[in-house]
Amino acid sequence: MSLIELKAAPGLKIYRPGAMFCLLLTLSAAADLYAENMAKQGIEGIMLPQSNDVVEVFPAEEVELTLQIAVQLTLRHNPELAAFDKEIQALHGLTIQAGLLPNPVMQYDAEDVSSRSNSPGARFDSIRISQLFETGGKRSARTRAAALGQESAEQDYAARRLDLIARVANVFLDVLAGQERLKLALVGQELAQKVVDAAEKRVMAGKAPPIEETRARVALATANIEVEQAQRNLISFRRQLALLWGSHNPAFSNVTGELETVVTIPELDELETRLQQNPLALRSLKNLEQRQALFTLEKARRIPDVTVNAGIRRYGHDIANDTTALVGISIPLPLFDRNQGNLIAAQQRINRAIDEQAATDLQLKALLTQAYESLIAADAQIGKLRDEILPGARETFRMASRGYELGRFGFLELLDAQRTLFQNQTLYLQALANYQRLINEVERLIAGPMEQDR
């Protein structure tokens, strides 16, 4: 459906780029990339630049760029996302470390090495091996706390990845809207040129004063400026999109997608129930679970650990049965330090995590409510522009053009009708783009597409 024609099928209620902004596909692609450890593996068709490369090459950056390719390029090459992935790997190492057993300790003693006594029992050597045995489930509690810390970092990664996907979709939308904006400007330039030609003929025929031709040429100059501005904006948007995956010179010529399609907006209550899918909500939950696991660990640390040691002692060579066995056990006595302070701190951090979880839920609900109400307003604006304003503006311009050619309307009426049509076409395009951004925002908050299979 062309924006130049500015036509819409009757009964259409919502406009949305069908294959463009379905975050279900992009989120699924992102999840697959993450599951395959995208930090270590490449995307088919993409050649990673090495440190000695002079020019970065992105073969997957096609001339006709789709949103799916743009998301894949960004997820593969964006350094901000890669940094989060490195942190997850680091926390995985800490999880492994938390589950390891303490190393045994070997001890060697040589007593009275400088003694001048001739007694064969005055000198002896001892070798001991001691092992610490953790009690109270410390190792399992420590491992669980570390694992929950890793899961919390994974939700941070998912949240940043979701934000990055939404950012790609929005910049992609800017490029797509910029392309349509340039088409509108070129159509306006063409209309302005036709008005100049018509005014020139009327002046030459003596039917209009020369000032009409001057006014028409001023309007044409304004239209030329609009085209130049639209071209510069489009170049800027294309570069912003390419920079998301580290390309300074975009290889694609244009993006493919539609601004107009149909989607059903669910009720706000239904969307609010899906906020729990948001990685930020999941992260706050994991943070609470981790704090509870750390509290369990601090409780386990109140129980003293046991150290068992065993070894042998060898006396002088002149003693019969000069070797004897050594066995020992040591247990700290919890008379003063029973880990009271750490328990208080862990409990307060649980309370803080509960407050943070409630604050996160409120923040997500507030953002969703704001985006939802704006979405409803944008839907109403698009409907009014499509059904009332644009048809009237097109008909007014058609009648003014025909009337001007026949000498029934003056130049000012024609110029005003042309300006009104162009302004409303631009407003309609802006309304569509704004609507798509609101759709992206809602889907970012619920971490999925608005429409679900029922």
Q: What is the DSSP string of 17-79?
A: -TTTS-HHHHHHHHHHHHHTTTTTSPPTT--PPPTT-SS---TT--SEE-HHHHHHHHHHH-H
Nearest Cα to Cα of residue 67 among 440, 373, 356: 440
Determine contact, residues 432/13, Cβ cutoff 8 Å: no
Q: Is the pLDDT of residue 328 over 50?
A: yes
Name 129's bridge partners. Answer: 106, 310
Q: Which pLDDT tens digit goes with each residue over 70-79?
A: 999 998 888 8
Nearest Cα to Cα of residue 43 among 80, 79, 70: 70
Residue 369 amino acid letter: T
| C-beta pairs of 205-214 under 8 Å, 24+ apart in sequence | 207/407, 208/411, 212/411
Task: Say whether 326 sits in a helix, a strand or coil.
Answer: strand
Q: Which pLDDT tens digit goes with each residue over 380-418?
A: 999 999 999 999 999 998 898 888 777 777 778 888 888
pLDDT, residue 80, reads 83
Tokens for 312? 């042998």
Query: Among residues of the chain, what percentage have pLDDT more than 90?
Result: 52
Tokens for 115? 């003694």
Question: Phi and psi for 327 in degrees, rounded to 5?
Answer: -140, 135
Which whole-number Å values give the CA distances from 373 to 323, 368, 379, in the listed order?
86, 9, 10
Q: Which pLDDT tens digit goes with each residue over 76-133?
A: 888 888 888 888 899 999 999 999 999 999 999 887 666 555 555 557 788 999 999 9
Position 258 confidence tier, pLDDT thresholds 50, 70, 90: confident
447: left (phi over 0), alpha (psi -120 to 50) or beta: left
Position 64 confidence tier, pLDDT thresholds 50, 70, 90: confident
d(CA 73, CA 81): 12
The residue with tokens 């992609």 is 172
Q: What is the gyration radius of the CA atoms in the chain, in angstroms?
A: 36
d(CA 195, CA 214): 11
pLDDT, residue 110, reads 83
d(CA 157, CA 67): 21
Position 215 confidence tier, pLDDT thresholds 50, 70, 90: confident
Q: Which pLDDT tens digit goes with each residue over 277-303?
A: 999 999 999 999 999 999 999 999 999
d(CA 392, CA 424): 10
d(CA 146, CA 153): 11
Q: What is the DSSP string of 209-228?
A: -HHHHHHHHHHHHHHHHHHH
d(CA 126, CA 111): 8
Mean per-residue pLDDT of the chain: 82
Name 435's bridge partners. Answer: none
Task: Say whether 13 sits in a helix, a strand or coil.
Answer: coil
The residue with tokens 């304003």 is 389
Q: Which residues 6+ apart lie within 8 Å of 390 measured at CB?
A: 6, 424, 425, 428
Name 307's bridge partners. Answer: 132, 330
d(CA 201, CA 370): 54
Tokens for 100? 């390891």
Q: Which pLDDT tens digit goes with each residue over 125-174?
A: 889 999 999 999 999 999 999 999 999 999 999 999 999 999 999 999 99
Question: Phi and psi for 329 in degrees, rounded to 5?
Answer: -145, 140
Longest dimension (CA), the chain: 140
d(CA 395, CA 404): 14
pLDDT, residue 148, reads 93
For the question of whether the overall pTM of this predicted structure is more than 0.85, the answer is no
Query: Among residues of the chain, what percentage have pLDDT more than 70?
Result: 82
267: left (phi over 0), alpha (psi -120 to 50) or beta: beta
Least confident range from 1-5, 25-29, 237-241, 350-354: namely 1-5
Name 327's bridge partners. Answer: 310
